[in-house]
Every structure is written in C-alpha cells, then in structure tokens.
Structure 1
C-alpha cells in the first residue's frame, strides 16, 4: 500500500474546475483530504488557521501539495505567493506549490520559475497524467 499525502490544497475560483480536479485527485488516490478554496486569501487563512478556518490549537494544516491558479479575484496567485513567502516556517511546512493555470503566456511560466516557493508549473486541465508526473517528480517516496 502506498503512502498518501496528508492534504492537497486546491486554490482556484472556478468551482467547476475544482470539482473536476477533486475527482481526478480522488481517482489518483494520492490523499484522503482535499481542501478547496476560491482565492489566495482563503488559502492563506487555511494555512494559518485564520478566518473561517480558525482552530483553537497551534497545529497548522501544512498541505503537502498545493495547486495554485494565477487569475482569481480577492487575491490572485502571485499575491498569494508574496504573502505565503512571508509566513513563518512552522506555518508553511514543506508545501510543494504547483501553479496550475490556463495561461499560455510564457512570461507567467518564466515568472513562476523565478519564485523559490513554486516547485512546478503545469497547464490546466489537471489530468491523471499530470498528477502522476507531479507525484513522480516531487513525492517519489509516496508511489
């Protein structure tokens, strides 16, 4: 039996995309916990136990994999990365952030590659092949 990721965090404002991504992640069997948020602000709140995600303990969720969209209202993917970078290390844990976007702009990929917190850049839609590639690249011990 393979090990599973503790949590996958989906950050995307498109509810239909989130639904499809959840189905693909479930089919891949890489985690039992998928958390979906609609923008970067909600993601920061989830990671830091604030707002509607506030808990009484100091245990931060630290999803092992975060799939991050670029274009969202409230706080987009780039703004999320700026705030995320400033979080304390105990809040961040060892989160692998994969930008998952429909953007065909090569400048977006180049910009993402220049950000240390971004581990990978993939195009939507998410597929079993993409999940498999992410797992092989970033979580080989979980296969």
Structure 2
C-alpha cells in the first residue's frame, strides 16, 4: 500500500450520500494509505478546513490533501465553495489539491474550472481507482510503497 507525503485525507464533498459512499469505496480500494472524509455540503467542507462549526474541536483531524468537489449542490454549490476557498488563510488551504468531480456536461463548467487556479483538474463522475491514483502520483511524492 502506497503512502504519499501530505496526503493524509481525501475530502469527498457531494450532497449525494450514495455517490460519497461509492467514491469512498473507490479511494479505499486504490491501495493508497489515506483517510476518507465524506461531507454533504460545501459549507460543512469549509468548516472542516477551518476547524470551525462542528469541527472546532477537530484540530488534530487529518488535513485534507485532495478535495473531490461536486459542482451542483443545494445552497452553496461548488463554485460558491471555490469563491469562499479563495478567501481562506493560506494555512487552511496549503498543499490541498481541489478536483471538480461532476456529472455536468456543460462545456462552460469545464472551461470555467480551467480558468480557476485553485482547481487542479476537472473530472466526470464517477471517480475511478486509476484517476485517483494518477492524481496522487501527479501532485504528491511517494514516501512508502
């Protein structure tokens, strides 16, 4: 099982519980040593990253290395999350890779994502083991095999 430097946790941000469940299983089966945190709202994801709200006592929780972010969510959507994420103090977003993971077929969404520096890549759902492993290999250094 591989271990990567600064990849302690994968944050799955999707309002669909079954999608989060499937993506959790994919990440867990990818032979990469990492915790997985499922969150169903963009606001809650921001709270997790900033140790606020219900996460204020979680300062020892694993820091997210990759965020798989859905675009279409009720309330605060993925684009709203990115707008708020940009405003975070660097200590809360340092070394985090944000991946838009969506069912959107709108070419404007992909183009928009390509023009946002905070978004490392844009993928169509569902996530698969190969895509997850490729992202880990591309953005993180292996420290254990």
TM-score over 0.5 (shorter chain): yes
RCO comparison, higher one (Cα < 8 Å, 6+): 2
Measured at CA, do residues 73 and 26 of structure 1 come closer, stay the same or move farther in structure 2, by a change above 3 Å? Answer: same
1 or 2, which has the higher strand percentage?
2
Q: Give ranges in structure 1 of 5+ residues lacking alignment.
A: none
Q: Which residue pairs with 1:44 in the alignment?
A: 46
Q: How many residues align?
A: 142
User: Residues 110 and 132 from structure 1, CA distance in 2 versus in 1: closer, same or farther, beyond 3 angstroms?
Assistant: same
Map residues 1-143 of structure 1 onto 2, 5 A cutoff: 2-4=2-4, 5-55=7-57, 57=59, 61-141=62-142
Q: Give how far 1:26 is off.
A: 0.3
| 1:49-96 superposed Cα distances (whole Å, 9 cap, x missing partner) | 111111175x68531110000000121100000000000001112100
- 1:60·1:91 contact (CA, 8 Å) conserved in 2? no
Q: Tell me how far apart the structure 2 counterparts of residues 53 and 42 of structure 1 sit (CA, whole Å).
A: 9
* Whole-Å separation in 2 of the counterparts to 1:140 and 1:103: 31
Distance in 1 of aligned mates of 2:100 and 2:76: 15
Query: What SS does the corresponding residue of 2:3 show, helix, strand or coil?
Result: coil
Residues 18 and 36 of structure 1 are in contact (CA less than 8 Å); yes or no, is this contact kept in structure 2?
Answer: yes
1: CA distance, partners of 2:73 / 2:118: 19
**Displacement, 1:29?**
2.8
